[in-house]
Each structure stands twice: as C-alpha cells, then as structure tokens.
C-alpha cells in the first residue's frame, strides 16, 4: 500500500468573523487523501466538514471567512506540490474544475436555471480545455494568420471580447468556428454518456427544470469529471435525492472513481453510505478531528465516544429493542477558546480532565487508527476520580 | 484541398457513440421553444391580449404614418396647416377627427404623435435600463463601499417626486422634446438600479454561482452567464410598465409647454385644444387624450400580465 497523497491538509484553521465574535469553524484539522482512494469526512451539521471541503477550492467568501493557519498541499503531475492557500486567484481558478472538482448537495440548486445543461457542462471545457477543443476540431491554427489564430483560440476559451464576436462569422473563420462548437458539443455528449445518461444529445439541450433530480446529479457528475480531475470533492451528493436514486448515483461515483483512479473526498453525515463507498474515514466534531481509521476499524472498533454515538444512531445498528440511540444535545458553536475536549459536554464518559484539557489525536490499536480521546490514554498525571469513566454515565 | 483536410479531421465522437450529429444551435432552438411557451402563457389572459393588440395597432400606425398621411414638409413632425378648415368638427371631409384652431389635422397629429411617443418611451426606457443595470450591478455584485455610495446616490434621486424632478430638469435644460427625453431618463434609471441590485444580491447567493466558481469561472463570466440572466426578469416587467408611464409624464411635460409648440405630440395636442373645450370644440383634446390613455393602459395591462407569469406569487385572486 504505497499510495501517493494527492492532497494533504495540514493543521488547517478557518475562522469566521461574525457579529457575535470569531467562530473557529475549522480548528487544526489534518488529513490526506491518497490517489484512487475514497476518504469519508463524517460529522453532523455544523462540525466544519463542508468548510474544510470548500477550503480545498478556496470557495469560502472572505470576509467573513479567514484562513488563519495551516497549509493545503496539492500535488499535480508535472507541476509539483503547491500550497492551495497561497496561490493567486488566477492560479486557483486554473485548478478549480480542472484538477479539483466538486459535486454539490442539491443538483437542482447547483445548475443555472436559465441555461441548457449542455452549455454548463461545456463551460468546463471552454475554461480548461481550449487547446484540446481546437485540436479536436482539426482547425489547423498554424495555417492561419496570427490575427485569426488569436480570434479562434480566444473564442475557444470563452475569452472573446464582445466586439470581436461578429468577426467569427467571416467566411474565413466561420467554418472553423462551427467545427470548434461541434467539437465542444461532442465533448459534452461524451462526458454525459460517461455518466450513463441514455440520450445525451437530448439531455444537453434541456433546461434543469426539465430533468429529474437523479438526471441533474448525473449532469453535475459529468461536469465535475469532464477534465478528469485528480481530486473529486463530493459534498453529500445524494442527500437531496430519492432513496431509490441514491444507490445508483453512489455506484456511478464508485465506478467512475475506480476507472479513473480519482481520489475522492466524500462528505456525509450518513454512516451507511460511508461503509458502502469509503476506504478510510475521518470523523470530525466541532472543527476538530475526533477519530480516523480504515472503514472496517471504524465500524468494528470505534474508539471515540462520538463515533460510537453516530454508529448508535444508525438504523441498521439499532439495539435489540429496535430503538435508536441519539447523542444528547447538538454541536455547540465554538466561539471562545474552551480549554477542554469539545465533545465533553455531550459525552457520557467525560471526566473532570476532559473539561480541562484537550486530547490530542493519538494512534491506538490498528495501524492508522487514531482517536482524540482520554478514554484510551494512560493518564498517569491525573487523579483516578478525574479520569473519564469506561462505562457510560447518564 | 478542403476535402483532404476533412479526412484528417479526428473522427466524431457522435459517430463512435452511434448518435446522430448534434444539430446546429441547439441552445437557440430550445430558447425559441421556451419563448413560445412563455408567450402562450402571457397571451392566455384576455386583458393582456387586449393590451398587446392595442400596442400592435399603435406600432402599425407609427410604422405606416407616411402611407396613411401625406408627410408635412419640411418637417413631418410639425402639424400641417389647412387654413380652409379651421376648427372643423370630426367627420369633416378630409379631416376624420376634425382640426385645431390653426387648421391642424387631429388625425395627422395622433398618427405622427404615435411615432413621437414610441421614440420617447423607447429612448427613455432604453437609457434608464442601461444606466440602472450598470449602476445596480456594480452595487449588488461588487458590494461593500461602492454599494453604499451608489445606493445613497439613488436614495437622493428617489427623494424627489418623479414629475417635479423631471419638470425641473427639463425646464433647466430648455424647451425641446430632446430635453424631455433626457430629463425623464435621469428620473427613471434609479428604479432599475434598485431592482437589479436587489435581484443580484439575491441571485448571487445561489448555489449555482458557487458551482460556477468551483469550475474555475472568472467573476466577470459568472456575472454575465449566471447572475445577470437570472436577475433581469423583473427589469423587463418594470420596463414594460414604464413604457406607458413615460409617455404619460412626457405628455404632461409637453402639455405644460416644455416641448416645441406645433409638434405632433399628444401632450402638445391636448394643450392646443384645451382652451377651446369650453367653446364646445371638444375633439382636439379628447382624441389626443384618448391616445395617451390607451397607450398607458395597454402597456400597463401587458406589464401586469408579464408579472403574473414571471412571478405567480404576486397574482391577484
């Protein structure tokens, strides 16, 4: 198992400046996503998983968001390793949609309602694959004069100035411009066909409101995978879909991911999906990592009380009496620096030390299995009465 | 030569996938179809249909003005003078709607006045929409300080009543129809700036804007492709309504005397006939007033119809 890391998040800290103070949405999170693996990022609403994911594409609006610390190292073949947080706006735009792509939660909201979906998928090719389009159209740029060459290559990259648009209708350019558009249409049709859309030519001309939710999510997946990215971020891509469609979309993502050896960061609150899809799991709680391990270990030997709580809330794991066990309370917003463990207020095992000190992420048991919990540490310097109790106290 | 080049072209993906070649301009076709559906929905309302018919009649009248009447020389937009038929009542030979006290044919004034009204409303609404959309977009899309500055400027404009503001500007600029156009444009753009700003602030929070950022689109491209097309609909409704009210206020200004006298403009015509109404010569002001009324009514009906279709929530009943 010598997988290459595609992206490594290192001690990422993201703060939000709000009227009520600074919210530490992500507070020292580190993980890495390896080539051709699916990493599940799990946690309940408000735990910072979406903020982490958006940080990889630098999509957070700033203000209010601020990257206070940490690095996000991203390796791309040919360009070496870059820190995404220090790239210029221009450079990060070159990576978005090309090397790192994202699928959003609700496909009906993530597609522009005023534009046929084919054009929205085509947008990715125009942004990142202009050269490829010119080549595919067989335009033969080298035979042309520099002016026409400039006009066509700008048009293929959607960078034409408005006044030069009509020039593309000139007899000398018209045929070539039409071939570029035909090449674009073909690329789009192929991208849609790859996601098992049965009639891509018909679908690409449809507006989002004419398509079903599952079809729209396929379009989003086609758009995301159009440029064959190194990393795909999927932010709860099946939450807004029918249960019957969910399974098919999951299988599709899994299949495309395996065929292209894409690394996937899969964000969800649904552990049953994790089991089906992910190779490794990272559990987040209130801006920190609570536990991380291979999928089997998380389900077989969960260490962190929060992970156990999440598992207890899964319908498939309901107790003998058929009841689900909910975790008490809800994620508290982290406004001010509390010294203790963030889960302590809701934790059934918490002792006095948990409210005083913050546990570090420490390896336990299987290789790669880490948890941030005093329950599994030998606390020699702490009085026995202050240690967390092995049995849940309610 | 071109045949040889064709053969070196890469094979089409559609051929490989066993699909027919994509037809040209699929987007345009879909848009046309959507346009047809929308217009069908709009015209289902009988009032809107009536408004459309009245507007069509006015446009036809404006277009055929030189055929329906003999254009006055040297300036067709000056009322002709027929000194043989002063104050002729409606139905007089050659003067279907009568004449003014200086022998001007009322029908001629109304027909060529339709052209003036069209000119007025298209110019004013055009300039106002252009300025309004630019200012509103900058304020809404860029936001921050710029938003504050622009919107406070807009507030200043809005604090003065429309008619009085336009009157003051037109009076300051001097008596001419062109100045009325300018004055009205200065008054009307603020509404559009506010509408488009509100829309853009709403639209730019949509997830598809974030999705567009996630595929690497630039800010300008996102504005042109995702934000503006989804923000513009209320502007079209307001523009349609304003096509009517611009003529109403424009006629008011020319009635007061801010347009050249003798101009074939409905407001001027109403003013010309006004003093004679007491003497029983009702036709000049009445017919010109009727033209203004019908124009404003028609555009209001169509504007309301458009709003009901675009925003079903505002529908009455």
Residues of chain A contacting residue B21, judged by C-beta atoms under 8 Å apart: 182
Instruction: Give residue B12's pLDDT.
Output: 44
Q: Cα angle vertex A40, ends A250, A234, to 5°?
A: 55
Question: Which tokens in the block code for residue A309?
Answer: 């709580």
Is residue A164, in this structure, part of any structural domain at all? yes
Is residue A87, in this structure, part of any structural domain at all? no
Is residue A75, in this structure, part of any structural domain at all? no
- Please tell me the total number of residues recorded for chain A in this structure: 394
Rg (CA), chain A: 24
Specify whether the backbone of A326 is left (phi greater than 0), alpha (psi in -120 to 50) or beta: beta
Domain hosting residue A137, numbered range = 117-194
Instruction: Give residue A331's pLDDT.
Output: 66
The string of DSSP codes covering A267-292 is EES-HHHHHHH-SEEEEEETTEEEEE
Instruction: Give residue A38's pLDDT.
Output: 92
CATH numbers and ranges of domains, chain B: 106-317 (1.10.3720.10)
Instruction: Give residue B5's pLDDT.
Output: 40
* Residue B300 C-alpha, separation from nearest chain A C-alpha, in angstroms: 26
Report the residue from A104, A113, A158 with minimal CB separation from B221: A158
Q: What's the CA gap between B114 and B223, in Å, rounded?
A: 37
Q: What's the CA gap between A362 and B116, in Å, rounded?
A: 82
More confident of the two residues A302 and B32? A302
Residue A334 pLDDT exceeds 80? no
Q: What's the CA gap between B27 and A31, in Å, rounded?
A: 43
Band of pLDDT at residue B23, cut at 50, 70 and 90: very low
Q: Do B208 and A98 touch (CB under 8 A)?
A: no
Is residue A268, in this structure, part of any structural domain at all? no
pLDDT tens digits for B159-179?
A: 999 889 999 999 899 999 999
Q: How many CA atoms lie within 13 A of B314 on its CB side?
A: 11
Q: What's the CA gap between B233 and A208, in Å, rounded?
A: 18
* A239 preceded by a cis bond (ω within 30 of 0): no
Instruction: Give residue A324's pLDDT.
Output: 67
Band of pLDDT at residue B91, cut at 50, 70 and 90: confident
Is residue A123, in this structure, part of any structural domain at all? yes
pLDDT tens digits for A115-146?
A: 899 999 999 898 888 888 888 877 777 777 77
Is residue A140, in this structure, part of any structural domain at all? yes
pTM of the complete model: 0.80
Q: What's the CA gap between B175 and B173, in Å, rounded?
A: 7
Residues of chain B contacting residue A220, judged by C-beta atoms under 8 Å apart: 211
Residue B209 pLDDT exceeds 80? yes
By C-alpha distance, the chain A residue nearest B15 is A186
Q: What's the CA gap between B6 and A231, in Å, rounded?
A: 37
Residue A386 at interface with chain B, using a CB cutoff of 8 Å: no
Q: What's the CA gap between A195 and A249, in Å, rounded?
A: 9
Instruction: Give residue A333's pLDDT.
Output: 60
Report the residue from A114, A115, A127 with minimal CB separation from B217: A127
* Distance set, CA A212 to CA A25, A108, A196, B86, B200 (Å): 34, 9, 14, 71, 27
Is residue A132, in this structure, part of any structural domain at all? yes
Q: Cα angle vertex A129, ends A128, A132, to 5°?
A: 165
Q: Do A200 and B19 touch (CB under 8 A)?
A: yes
Band of pLDDT at residue A321, cut at 50, 70 and 90: low
Q: What share of chain A is helix, strand, coil (3-state, %, to 5)?
A: 40, 20, 40
Q: Do B10 and A138 touch (CB under 8 A)?
A: yes
State chain A's mean pLDDT as an integer: 84
Residue A96 neighbours by CB distance under 10 Å: 25
* Residue B18 C-alpha, separation from nearest chain A C-alpha, in angstroms: 11
Instruction: Give residue B3's pLDDT.
Output: 40
Torsion from C-alpha of B253, B258, B261, B265, nearest 10 degrees:
-30
* Residue A94 C-alpha, separation from nearest chain B C-alpha, in angstroms: 6
User: A102: helix, coil or strand?
Assistant: strand
Is residue A127, in this structure, part of any structural domain at all? yes
Residue to test with chain A: of B7, B31, B201, B208, most A Cβ within 10 A: B208
pLDDT tens digits for A37-88?
A: 999 999 888 788 889 999 999 988 877 888 888 899 998 766 788 888 888 8
- What value does the mean pLDDT take over residues A2-11? 83
pLDDT tens digits for A344-368?
A: 888 888 888 888 888 888 888 778 8
Q: How many domains does chain A have?
A: 1
Q: Do A93 and B230 touch (CB under 8 A)?
A: no
Residue B2 pLDDT exceeds 50? no
In total, the C-beta contacts within 8 angstroms joining chain A to chain B are 113
Residue to test with chain B: of A98, A114, A229, A239, most B Cβ within 10 A: A114
Residue B9 pLDDT exceeds 70? no
Q: Do A109 and B218 touch (CB under 8 A)?
A: no
Contact status, residue A100 vs residue B217, Cβ threshold 8 Å: no
Instruction: Give residue B70's pLDDT.
Output: 85
Residues of chain B contacting residue A59, judged by C-beta atoms under 8 Å apart: 210, 213-214
Band of pLDDT at residue B32, cut at 50, 70 and 90: low
Residues of chain A contacting residue B207, judged by C-beta atoms under 8 Å apart: 104-106, 109-110
Residues of chain A contacting residue B211, judged by C-beta atoms under 8 Å apart: 102, 104, 110-111, 220
Residue to test with chain A: of B211, B224, B229, most A Cβ within 10 A: B211
Q: Do A201 and B20 touch (CB under 8 A)?
A: yes
The beta strands (E) that lie in chain A are given as 5-18, 21-34, 38-42, 65-76, 80-83, 100-103, 231-235, 263-268, 280-285, 288-294, 362-363, 370-371
Q: Do B27 and A118 touch (CB under 8 A)?
A: yes
Residue A378 pLDDT exceeds 70? yes
């Amino acid at each position: 198992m010598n997988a290459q890391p595609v992206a490594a998040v290192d001690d990422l800290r993201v703060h939000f400046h709000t009227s009520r103070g600074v919210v530490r949405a992500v507070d020292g999170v580190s993980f890495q996503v390896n080539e051709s693996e699916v990493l599940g990022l799990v946690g309940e609403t408000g735990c910072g998983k979406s903020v982490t994911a958006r940080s990889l594409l630098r999509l957070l609006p700033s203000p209010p968001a601020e990257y206070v610390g940490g690095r996000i190292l991203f390796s791309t073949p040919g360009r070496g390793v870059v820190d995404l947080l220090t790239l210029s706006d221009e450079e990060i735009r070159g990576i978005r949609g090309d090397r790192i792509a994202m699928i959003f939660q609700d496909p009906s909201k993530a597609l522009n309602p005023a534009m046929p979906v084919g054009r929205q998928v085509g947008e990715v090719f125009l942004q990142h694959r202009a050269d490829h389009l010119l080549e595919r159209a067989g335009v033969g740029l080298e035979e042309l004069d520099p002016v026409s060459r400039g006009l066509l290559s700008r048009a293929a990259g959607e960078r034409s100035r408005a006044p030069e648009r009509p020039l593309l209708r000139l007899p000398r350019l018209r045929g070539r411009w039409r071939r570029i558009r035909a090449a674009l249409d073909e690329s789009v049709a192929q991208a849609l066909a790859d996601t098992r859309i049965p009639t891509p030519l018909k679908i690409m001309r449809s507006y989002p409101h004419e398509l079903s939710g599952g079809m729209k999510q396929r379009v989003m997946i086609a758009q995301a995978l159009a440029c064959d990215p190194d990393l795909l971020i999927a932010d709860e891509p099946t939450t807004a879909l029918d249960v019957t469609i969910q399974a098919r979309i999951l299988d599709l993502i899994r299949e495309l991911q395996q065929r292209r050896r894409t690394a996937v960061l899969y964000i969800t609150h649904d552990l049953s999906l994790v089991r089906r899809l992910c190779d490794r799991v990272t559990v987040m709680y209130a801006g920190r990592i609570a536990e991380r391990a291979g999928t089997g270990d998380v389900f077989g030997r969960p260490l962190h009380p929060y992970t156990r709580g999440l598992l207890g809330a899964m319908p498939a794991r309901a107790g003998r009496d058929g009841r689900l066990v909910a975790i008490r309370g809800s994620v508290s917003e982290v406004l001010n620096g509390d010294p203790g463990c963030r889960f302590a207020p809701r934790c059934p095992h918490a002792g006095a030390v948990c409210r005083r000190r913050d546990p570090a992420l420490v390896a336990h048991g299987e290789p790669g299995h880490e948890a941030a919990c005093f329950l599994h540490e030998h606390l020699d310097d702490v009085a026995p009465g202050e240690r967390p109790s092995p049995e849940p106290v309610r | 030569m071109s045949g040889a080049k064709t053969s070196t072209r890469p094979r089409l993906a559609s051929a490989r996938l066993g699909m027919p070649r994509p037809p040209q301009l699929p987007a345009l076709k879909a848009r046309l179809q959507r346009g047809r559906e929308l217009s069908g929905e709009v015209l289902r309302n009988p009032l809107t249909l009536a408004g459309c018919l009245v507007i069509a009649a006015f446009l036809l009248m404006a277009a055929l003005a030189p055929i329906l009447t003999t254009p006055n020389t040297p300036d067709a937009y000056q009322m002709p003078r027929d000194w043989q038929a002063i104050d002729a009542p409606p139905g007089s030979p050659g003067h279907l709607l009568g004449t003014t006290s200086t022998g001007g044919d009322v029908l001629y004034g109304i027909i060529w006045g339709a052209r003036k009204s069209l000119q007025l409303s298209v110019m004013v609404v055009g300039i106002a929409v252009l300025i309004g959309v630019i200012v509103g977009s900058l304020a809404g899309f860029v936001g921050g300080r710029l938003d504050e500055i622009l919107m406070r400027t807009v507030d200043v404009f809005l604090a003065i009543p429309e008619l009085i503001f336009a009157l003051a500007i037109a009076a300051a600029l001097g008596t001419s129809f062109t100045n009325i156009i300018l004055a009205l444009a200065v008054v009307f753009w603020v509404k559009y700036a506010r509408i488009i700003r509100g829309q853009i602030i709403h639209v730019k929070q949509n997830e598809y804007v974030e999705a567009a950022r996630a595929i690497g689109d630039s800010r300008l491209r996102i504005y042109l492709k995702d934000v503006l097309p989804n923000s513009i609909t209320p502007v079209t409704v307001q523009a349609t309504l304003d096509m009517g009210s611009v003529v109403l206020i424009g006629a008011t200004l020319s009635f007061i005397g801010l347009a050249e006298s003798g101009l074939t403009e409905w407001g001027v015509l109403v003013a010309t006939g006004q003093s004679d109404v007491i003497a029983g010569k009702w036709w000049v002001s009445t017919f010109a007033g009727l033209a203004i009324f019908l124009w404003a009514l028609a555009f209001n009906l169509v504007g309301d119809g458009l709003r009901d279709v675009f925003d079903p929530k505002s529908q009455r009943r």
